[in-house]
Amino acid sequence: MTVRGRFLAPDGTPLSGALVFRAPATLTFPQADVILGGPVTVQLDAQGAIEVTLPATDAPDMDPSGWAYVVAEQLSGILVGRSYNIVLPRAQPEVDLADIAPTDPAKPNYVGVPGPVGPQGATGTPGSRIYSGATAPAAGLGVDGDLYVRYETSTVLGVASTTVSTWQRTAGAWAQIGGDVRGAAIYTNNTTTPSTNTKPGDLLIRTDTGDLWQRNASGWGSAIGSLRGPKGDKGDVGAAGATGPGGVVQSVNGKSAAAVTLSAADVGALATTAAGAPSGVATLGADGKVPAAQLPAAGGGAVDSVNSKTGVVVLTAADVGALDQAAADARYPLATAAVLVAGTQTISGGKTFSSIPSTTAAPTTANHLTRKSYVDALGGGEWLPSDHGLLTWAFDPALGQSTALYPGSGPIRVTAVILRVPVTVARIVWFATGYAGGLTTGSWAAIYDSAGTRVAATGDMSTATYEPAEVHNAGGATISSPLTASYAAPAGVYYVASRWQYNTGTGDGPMLLAAESSAGAPPNQFGQTAVRRFGVYSTGAATAPATINVASMENGANRFWCALG
């Protein structure tokens, strides 16, 4: 038995003190082999309340029987506390002292407890019933006084809304007594939207203009405002760009004309007509020698001396102020190996340069080395996956639409990514604006090469090891699932496939970042190659298949972002 009570002063202040419950000196329960004895003292708490559990006074197999508790109130500020008897039959498991404690001295010193339940009365007249459905109530349904609640659901631009109306049957016919009631809905579209199936108060946001419309009794009417703010201030002047191509030639060697023609004299050369001509230059014959006709007449006399030497003169290196071989070797010792300035040469072993080789020229073929500034310039002002700690991604996630999308429960979503260099992949990455958990068995993700062969996969994403983390913060967060084993991926194109299985009724699945969803079947193939960038298989498998047929992949309206890490 649970006994409760609360004691307050007339001004509502909680009293303090205790209540003492006394039973016979000892209570014996032979079947349970238990003997209870002594009073039970319960202190009032800060609210002046007590709660205590006591044996029922008519508990079975109890000796003695037919007795009552003596309750003694020991309350602070009350000089003479009350003392009274109560019985606690087990038919009433909870009792409040305010209901049973005597307050009038003329009353007995215990209060009886309700007896057994009496016989059941006669069946009353049936009350009104409430029916519900998606259509108007049938004429033969129910009786007068019954109510009917109609729940009518419609979908406009992907937004499902339920309208509630109330009907009552009177004089044998159903009549609507409550207007169509539902909350206002918000739609988004990039073009004009008919007001059919919409309700007054609904909102329409034009994503192409930012204009905001509110439905009135007759239709959308005129725009009531715009989400697009005023044009911002002009930005600062950017840094100077790279040097552009050369301009049009203004003059050549002092000549200016639309088509400049230079003569030999303009460039300080001899005209071809001077070859073999007087005051010109000698030519060579077929034997590689100057023809005799162009040589001076024989004669001229012998040389008198050469470097002050006469006779049969033999000159040494010293005679012409040069070093002989021995002196040159001593002054300029040859290295055992040297890098040639020109020509083909193979250099083996590790080499150390005293300064880093450099070049100002841009590469023109695949095997050319290039400078760092040229490579850095290729990135331009665009963000790269490596700037965010990723190996590759489908596209810059900042280009994704502002409202994320559910991937749908069951289909396989596919996104292509490209690796420019060999890397080791450890996980598959997505971005979710919200996810409360709830994936079920049959959820997985995998990586396939360009031929459609599976090369790596996660485990069951409904398990703790592979399930992506929940996302509850504003703006969303990056989520991922690890591969069962890291994959050393060569450079090339890969397809990331994922299947999400969840309860769509409660929205358990993740809301994932996507590029767009406005087109029913946007293109997924560009340029002159057969690479498909996005797609979907409407029917998914419970586990990642060993291969996928890339050619049979459907164009999906939703292009989900993913990355590799």
For the chain, which residues make up each domain, given as ranges? 2-100, 130-181, 186-225, 385-564
Mean pLDDT lowest among 109-123, 133-147, 445-459, 515-529 = 109-123
Helix, strand, coil shares of the chain, percent, nearest 5, are 5, 30, 60
**161, β-bridge pairs:** 154
- pLDDT value at 116 more than 70: no
CA–CA separation, 366 and 155 (whole Å): 56
Residue 513 — very low, low, confident or very high, per pLDDT cuts 50/70/90? very high
The one-letter code for the residue type at 1 is M
User: Which two structure tokens, joined as six digits, stand for 12?
Assistant: 């509502």
Report pLDDT for 304: 78
Across 219-223, 510-514, 516-520, which has the greatest mean pLDDT? 510-514
- pLDDT value at 107 more than 60: no
428, 493, 496 from 393: Cα distances, Å: 10, 11, 10
Across 10-24, 188-202, 318-332, 361-375, which has the greatest mean pLDDT? 10-24
Residue 115 — very low, low, confident or very high, per pLDDT cuts 50/70/90? low
- pLDDT value at 87 more than 60: yes
Report pLDDT for 26: 87
Largest CA distance in the chain: 174
Report pLDDT for 318: 83
Q: Is 198 exposed, middle or buried (0-12, 13-18, 19+ CB in 10 A)?
A: buried
Helix (H) or strand (E) holding 393: strand 392-393
**Class for the domain spanning 2-100:** mainly beta
DSSP 399: G
Selected residue with higher pLDDT from 456 and 83: 456
- pLDDT value at 225 more than 60: yes
CA–CA separation, 428 and 480 (whole Å): 6
